[in-house]
Structure 1
């Protein structure tokens, strides 16, 4: 604490959070979903508004800091300001700043800049308990300086957030452009085109229900589980291997490189359709339950062409219309088998796949560059915060 105190700008002092805030945790109260009466009052949890209720607990400007169910690393926005009539459950600490020395926005900026993980306990269920929270160090400049720095940060962050929103829109546009090309290709009909079903142009394999005791990271044969199937991405994992003897015993579920794998449970998640192509490192792997493999009959269908088709919105919409959504979106093998596939000549498939591959590369390159710009803007935020809490933030430190 002394070394940190020595580095503070003139007129600043270092205080523990418990010295500059009243902790109002005893006043918060959770409401189960079934007991919540709908209304217009925001009901807050660790990360923000969960719902709206009829009554309130607080009616003032306060700071909430996640106790559990939050993230606490630098930039994770674990703290935020609330105002007016509100209800807070028991997953967020409720802080009332001592107005004579600390404004709420300064506290939020500082808490979100700090890495609070050293104050978090628990491995299975991480928690920022009240005792640890009280010891979090908070640099305190004079109130006029706090307000001036917060105003600079607010203005700079508003510009950065707008720039991020523009970039995110460009990323969305790039993805939509690629999808529109896929839809254009696979919506073609007429001479040279015909519609077939998936089971007529490929071999469909339904995974086997291996026992949990069958898996061991020290075994030689890789297994393809539902966790390996991402959104147009195969997620490799060395912890789920099977004995080499299983290759003979379960040869019916042996899968080769280049096959398409599709999750049958939670086939669609918020990011899209869970479909991937098996990489060379998983050649001759064994397929686990709730995953289907589509092994193209290369006499009639090109593997890349088929994968691009499964990556299209046409397939997404087909799955969405056929999943069983009573509990979770599951696709049946029967519906997979009868899924329609537009087929043209192998020569034309190869030509179209080449065009799509080129467009995919250009799209991925553009998105990669845009994501890099997003990261640069996040880094700029951290840099501005670092200057702010070192007393070095001025108008000249903020890029135009």
Structure 2
């Protein structure tokens, strides 16, 4: 790190206190007002008449924002402009993000203490050229992330929601419509009670019982997964129960009699979790805790069709809102269910939505990969583990125009 300087934050930057600007005295305008967690409003006149960094002082302590235009930092923040630092302002922005000032907060010091922040040791490149090049690389990746995040809500929730509504009201065959108890549906469809074409079940083995059982030592044993509401939130379980904190090996015969089979749609039946409307698919024999219930597709219902339809149904419609919200089997079996008589049409609807979900997953994976790349580069560049000259932007998938490439 011979070309880098070891110093303290005090030596390279001055943290200025933000100003009191309550919402009641703000005059509508185009100047962003920054609190500790980002833009909190707008005003007609800037407090700081140039670009700068905003640092959370109270509230979202240590959060770092960058304004590329004049702005208003309120009194829950510190701010830094190019006049307040001896290093490139954009480099300092990324340096502070890497430094994680929020770790300086304690129960004794709830806000960000300026003197404590000033005392922190940092390392910076000796030359402003290198500082700017580092900032330019990180800015390229961050801009790509922001562009993807900006497009994501419209792509994921908007298009998918419209398509699901269209498929479950119009089908795929262009049939004439008819009115039913649940609205317009194709003439060849029926509206039936969910309990007439699907099983609504719990497991006969309780979650607690499964915890106490020993795994069955046999080549004929099958995996039995125990799931709770919290297992819906395990990474990888966004659509189906791929992972769980409880798994046992039981005999196939016992599993078939006492557990929920693979392909069932599971959702909460008790407590605040009902309002989340989360539904998950079982991937093996499964034991449910008492706060979950499952719908098993019958012979006339394609599993994927049931799952996607379930995502359009709001569980709150059949929930008893008492002190502890809950829904029961009798509520679920009475739900009206649009059923195409041709299983092939159910498959067509399922495949259309699977295609969309595959695109969404690909889009999401690209975004996660870019975020991982950003955090990796942030650490490696800010610790001189790698240098800008060592990077092949094209190989990393970083797209730069001529001007951006020149800056790097």
Same fold by TM-score, threshold 0.5 exceeded?
yes
Distance (whole Å) between structure 2 residues aligned to residue 103 and residue 121 of structure 1: 26
Distance (whole Å) between structure 2 residues aligned to residue 370 and residue 37 of structure 1: 42
Gaps of 5+ in 2: 173-183, 215-223, 394-398, 402-408
Q: 1:256 to 1:87 in 2, by over 3 A?
A: same
State the Cα distance separating 1:173 from its structure 2 match.
Answer: 7.2
Superposition CA RMSD, Å: 5.5
Distance (whole Å) between structure 2 residues aligned to residue 42 and residue 263 of structure 1: 42
Distance (whole Å) between structure 2 residues aligned to residue 215 and residue 365 of structure 1: 37
Q: 2:186 — aligned with what?
A: 189
Q: Does 1:108 align with 2:93?
A: yes
1:63 pairs, out of 46, 50, 53, with 53
Q: 1:158 to 1:393 in 2, by over 3 A?
A: farther
State the Cα distance separating 1:138 from its structure 2 match.
Answer: 4.4
Q: Deviations over 1:164-223 (max 9, x none)?
A: 6567765567745763564343964324x3211223333434799x99xx5996765854
Q: 1:227 — aligned with what?
A: 230
State the Cα distance separating 1:255 from its structure 2 match.
Answer: 3.3
Question: Following superposition of structure 1 onto structure 2, how do residues 349-388 of structure 1 map, counting pairs within 5 Å?
Answer: 349=343, 351-375=344-368, 377-378=370-371
Q: 1:177 to 1:138 in 2, by over 3 A?
A: farther
Question: Following superposition of structure 1 onto structure 2, how do residues 203-218 of structure 1 map, counting pairs within 5 Å?
Answer: 203-205=199-201
Q: 1:156 to 1:275 in 2, by over 3 A?
A: closer
For 1:294, what is the secondary structure of its paired residue?
Answer: strand
Q: Does 1:275 align with 2:279?
A: yes
Asked whether the equivalents of residues 174 and 367 of structure 1 are also in contact (C-alpha less than 8 Å), the reply is no
Q: 1:198 — aligned with what?
A: 194
State the Cα distance separating 1:115 from its structure 2 match.
Answer: 5.9
Q: Does 1:294 align with 2:290?
A: no
Q: Does 1:263 align with 2:268?
A: yes
Asked whether the equivalents of residues 46 and 65 of structure 1 are also in contact (C-alpha less than 8 Å), the reply is yes
For 2:171, what is the secondary structure of its paired residue?
Answer: helix
Gaps of 5+ in 1: 73-77
State the Cα distance separating 1:341 from its structure 2 match.
Answer: 0.2
Q: Does 1:80 align with 2:72?
A: no
Question: Following superposition of structure 1 onto structure 2, how do residues 238-257 of structure 1 map, counting pairs within 5 Å?
Answer: 238=245, 255-257=260-262
Distance (whole Å) between structure 2 residues aligned to residue 327 and residue 235 of structure 1: 33
State the Cα distance separating 1:306 from its structure 2 match.
Answer: 1.9
Q: 2:179 — aligned with what?
A: none
Q: 1:162 to 1:325 in 2, by over 3 A?
A: farther
Question: What is the total number of aligned residue pairs between the two structures?
Answer: 350
Distance (whole Å) between structure 2 residues aligned to residue 185 and residue 65 of structure 1: 52
State the Cα distance separating 1:285 from its structure 2 match.
Answer: 0.8
Q: Deviations over 1:57-116 (max 9, x none)?
A: x757653345787699xxxxx421355333243xx665567636135333112223x264
Q: 2:12 — aligned with what?
A: 20
Asked whether the equivalents of residues 231 and 245 of structure 2 are also in contact (C-alpha less than 8 Å), the reply is no
Asked whether the equivalents of residues 318 and 331 of structure 2 are also in contact (C-alpha less than 8 Å), the reply is yes
Q: 2:400 — aligned with what?
A: 399
Q: Does 1:137 align with 2:122?
A: yes
State the Cα distance separating 1:226 from its structure 2 match.
Answer: 1.7
What TM-score do you get using the length of structure 2 for normalisation? 0.61
For 2:84, what is the secondary structure of its paired residue?
Answer: coil
Asked whether the equivalents of residues 56 and 78 of structure 2 are also in contact (C-alpha less than 8 Å), the reply is yes
What TM-score do you get using the length of structure 1 for normalisation? 0.62
Q: Deviations over 1:4-39 (max 9, x none)?
A: 3x143xxxx3432232223456x78999xxxx7585
Q: Deviations over 1:372-395 (max 9, x none)?
A: 44355446656876669777479x
For 1:227, what is the secondary structure of its paired residue?
Answer: helix
Asked whether the equivalents of residues 36 and 55 of structure 2 are also in contact (C-alpha less than 8 Å), the reply is yes
Q: 1:362 to 1:79 in 2, by over 3 A?
A: same
State the Cα distance separating 1:235 from its structure 2 match.
Answer: 6.0
